[in-house]
């Protein structure tokens, strides 16, 4: 798949991507946003026809830092990764901003940094810092009033009204569904654009949150394809739509698939080493053409053809011009 120029998208299409995200939240019920953590995953999501994507904070922390999702990855590390991902795709990308990395003043700057980076919206959660992955034990939450101030700061900080503030609450594990419903109402009143109750336990939890904020869309996290789901059961999309869910995030799908795929390939390599045999397993691997298409090599070929001297092109490629990466 040929990629359009990321610089052109970054400079000229950011407002339109945010507007597209808003429209999708209103019309595509539920809007499915797979979690991405690198360039391959982001471009595959776009190539496979998904309308939006979202970075997975746990996936970035695990893959980039080889650390658990317990607050070790900081704002600037997260921001740098998200900036590259946002300019790599033409679909709207939301990001996981953890707790906003401090108090309400820090949240204010966090929103501005992510918006400047080309992100179309962020999650901000009400956990005590350092936070924990949503399905880990030992979570704690801040005072509901403090979280409301964070949301108010986030709303004031954004320069584009279409930038989405997704207020996540981890209160179910600490205060039960009653506490989560109370917080959902308060966060919606504070100006959140989306309400995200994490680690919901059943359909009744979802129903109660949706009914509590009738004028604010609700985001539900689903672990599609992840074995041993610790908290939230797998619920069909049709049922989530019937429950009134606006957006479904799937943060662990692609990281889990990547680990599984790499393990299978390495197991095959171990077999080759141990037996001395050679095995061609194209079923386990993407082709070179698929890899180079995702990485955007065709765009580089086109730019070379447009801007290089004719004699340089002839010297480098001869009769193979236009097929540089397909050899």
Could you tell me the residue ranges of all domains in the chain? 6-252
Strand pairing class (31-36; 53-55): parallel
Per CATH, is 6-252 categorized as 3.30.930.10? no
Cα distance between residue 34 and residue 223, in whole Å? 10
Cα 231 from chain centroid (whole Å):
20
The fraction of the chain above a pLDDT of 90, given in percent, is 77
Tokens standing for 66? 């080889």
> What is the pLDDT at residue 16?
84
Reported as a single tens digit per residue, the pLDDT across 31-87 is: 999 999 999 999 999 999 999 999 999 999 999 999 988 889 999 999 999 999 999
**pLDDT of residue 9 exceeding 50:** no
Res. 106 pLDDT band, cuts 50 70 90: very high
Res. 139 pLDDT band, cuts 50 70 90: confident
| 110: nearest Cα among 156, 69, 157 | 157
Residue 305 to residues 154, 249, 301, 312, 313: CA-CA distances in angstroms?
45, 41, 6, 10, 8
| 56: nearest Cα among 87, 83, 82 | 82
Contact present, 51 and 30 (Cβ < 8 Å)? no
Cα distance between residue 6 and residue 112, in whole Å? 21
> What is the pLDDT at residue 228?
53
> What is the pLDDT at residue 122?
98
Name the least confident of 124-133, 170-179, 248-257, 269-278. 124-133
Tokens standing for 164? 């989405």
What's the whole-number mean pLDDT along residues 134-139?
Answer: 71
């Amino acid at each position: 798949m040929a990629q359009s120029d990321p610089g052109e998208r970054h400079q000229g299409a950011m407002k339109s991507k945010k507007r597209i995200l808003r429209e999708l939240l209103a019309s595509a019920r539920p809007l499915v946003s797979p979690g991405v953590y690198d360039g391959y995953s982001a471009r595959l999501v776009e190539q496979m026809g998904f309308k939006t994507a979202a970075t997975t904070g746990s996936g970035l922390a695990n893959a980039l830092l080889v650390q658990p999702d317990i607050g070790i990855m900081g704002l600037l590390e997260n921001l740098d990764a998200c900036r590259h991902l946002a300019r790599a795709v033409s679909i709207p990308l939301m990001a996981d901003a953890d707790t906003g990395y401090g108090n309400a003043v820090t949240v204010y700057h966090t929103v501005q940094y992510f918006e400047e980076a080309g992100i179309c919206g962020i999650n901000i959660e009400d956990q005590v810092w350092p936070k924990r992955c949503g399905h880990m034990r030992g979570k704690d939450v801040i005072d509901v009033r403090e979280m409301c101030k964070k949301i108010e700061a986030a709303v004031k900080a954004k320069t584009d009204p279409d930038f989405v503030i997704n207020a996540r609450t981890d209160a179910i594990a600490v205060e039960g569904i009653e506490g989560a419903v109370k917080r959902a109402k308060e966060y919606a009143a504070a100006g959140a654009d989306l309400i995200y109750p994490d680690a919901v336990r059943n359909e009744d939890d979802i129903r109660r949150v949706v009914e509590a904020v009738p004028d604010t869309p609700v985001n539900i996290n689903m672990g599609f394809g992840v074995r041993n789901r610790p908290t939230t059961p797998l619920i069909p999309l049709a049922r989530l739509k019937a429950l009134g869910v606006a957006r479904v995030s799937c943060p662990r799908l692609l990281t889990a698939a990547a680990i599984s795929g790499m393990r299978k390939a390495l197991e095959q390599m171990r077999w080759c080493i141990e037996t001395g045999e050679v095995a061609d397993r194209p079923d386990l691997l993407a082709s070179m053409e698929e890899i180079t298409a995702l990485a955007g090599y065709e765009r580089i070929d086109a730019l070379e053809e447009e801007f290089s001297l004719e004699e340089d092109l002839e010297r480098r490629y001869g009769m193979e011009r236009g097929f540089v990466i397909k050899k």
